Amino acid sequence: MGPLPFDKPLKIDTRPIWLIVVDRTLRYQLLAGLALIAVAAFQVTPPAGLSLAGYRSLVLFGVTIILWVTALLPIAITALLSMVMLPLTGILPAKQTYALFGNEAVFFILGAFILAAAMTGTGLSARLARSMLARFGRTPRRLALTVYLLAAGLSFCMSEHAVAAMLFPVVAEITDSLSLKAGKSTYSRLLYMSIAWGCIIGGIATFLGGARAPLAVQMLKENSGLEFSFMDWTLASVTIVVPLLLIGYLVLERFFPVDIKEVDGGLRYLNRKRLEIGKPGVNEFITAIVMILTIGAWMLYGRELGLANIALLATAVLFTFRVVSWEKIEEYVNWGIILMYGGSIALASALEKTGAALWIVKKGLSAFSPGPFVIIAVISLVAIILTECISHAAVVAILMPIGLGLAQGLGIDPKIMTLAIALPAGLAYCLPMGTPATAIVYGSGHLSGREIILPGALIMTISWLLFLGSVYFIWPLIGLTL
């Protein structure tokens, strides 16, 4: 026998064995070290004014943040672990802890995932995307603007992650049909960035664009008993979304100017694909009707009937007409996010019920006395920066207990504090790990990290300033006063 073929040359690690072992087991060492620190911290006597349960909830909260930021464990597993530790460490009774997992936000998001799966699985969303682009994208500038507004509009009623994943292959089809090469055309970069920014900005407009809003609203309800209706949230967010959509596209065109004269090749391709898929089927019509009625019910009867109840009734209708099957749903539902919800809400509730969140706030305010607007500015800035590094929902889970404690200590409307955390937490433009929409377009190969970060930093700053302008000038007109 001859020598075995290898695709790649065999590499031999010549480092000392102890260094290899340390390198290969670093993750386990870090986890073990964190566990030892936590155990030691649990033995420390609580500071004055803080109960034992409150102190232990703060230790658990700190460990959870470290695990989320370092990604030593999957984010959903970290949330579940923190939930398990609440009764084991005597912070909350087991019955009370696990009851929090069955909160309304978990089932609302489950319903939203199933509705989005129906739109994607039946081909309704792809048909809508191709039809809109073929109808309104007659020139290069109009085509890019249509991609941008379509991404934003779909993100009003679907997860922004799902919208980005759906539009990516459509834009890839267009760039291929126009022979736009990676690294050669600024127009191809404009098209891909239009997906990312459209999804990000549109994703904060309603409860349906991402996980953060339902999570924040449920934490608000658990803490203060206050609620947001679907319309209340949308009315507050649209004061930021509308001007941001306009400014965002102008910024994109500034950084990525149009460098082609016509898009006829791309339009011919889109029209050919439309002809291939034929007329809408029965399942598409049923899905469209269910989506329209569901969104209308959320707007008109969300407060009386409950958002989760409406969402689950809509999914029952889809299953009744066999528009979706459970096998398909399992492919689309992000169970990790759902698991994270229950754990995060339980941990946040523990911080509030044990008095730990309020104790942190009082200690933080003892050194200085900032005004309510300064507090809102600072916490929204922390949220928008932190969301570049970790999950949007994790940012909400980390900041909401502290923010609600601040609101209680300073007499700030808790609803404004909720918006100040949840809205900026959705506006991550710069880093691929900040949002899947950015990661998806980065994976196209048409954009470098620098080409994403520079315009992203600018629009992130503009987003924060627009948010503060809305808080100060516009929200008082709709009943949200500091």
pLDDT in tens, 131-157: 777 787 788 899 899 999 999 998 887
* Distance (Å, whole) CA 120 – CA 235: 27
Mean pLDDT of the chain: 83
Q: Work out the average pLDDT over 263-290.
A: 81
Position 369 confidence tier, pLDDT thresholds 50, 70, 90: low
Q: Is the pLDDT of residue 53 over 80?
A: yes
* Distance (Å, whole) CA 171 – CA 188: 9
pTM of the model: 0.70
Higher pLDDT among residues 433 and 355, named by residue: 355
What pLDDT score does 214 carry? Answer: 85
Contact assessment for residue 267 and residue 138, using Cβ atoms and an 8 Å cutoff: yes
Which two three-digit tokens encode residue 368? 């200085």
Q: Work out the average pLDDT over 378-407.
A: 82
Q: Work out the average pLDDT over 324-343.
A: 76
In percent, how much of the chain has pLDDT > 70? 92
**Three-state secondary-structure class, residue 278:** coil
Q: Work out the average pLDDT over 319-337.
A: 80
What pLDDT score does 253 carry? Answer: 94
* Distance (Å, whole) CA 50 – CA 282: 61
SS in 3 state form for 93-126? CHHHHHHHHHCHHHHHHHHHHHHHHHHHHCCHHH
In this structure, the number of other CB atoms found within 10 A of the CB of residue 53 comes to 19
Contact assessment for residue 416 and residue 480, using Cβ atoms and an 8 Å cutoff: yes
Contact assessment for residue 91 and residue 354, using Cβ atoms and an 8 Å cutoff: yes
What pLDDT score does 145 carry? Answer: 93
- Choose among 419, 439, 427: nearest CA to 201: 427
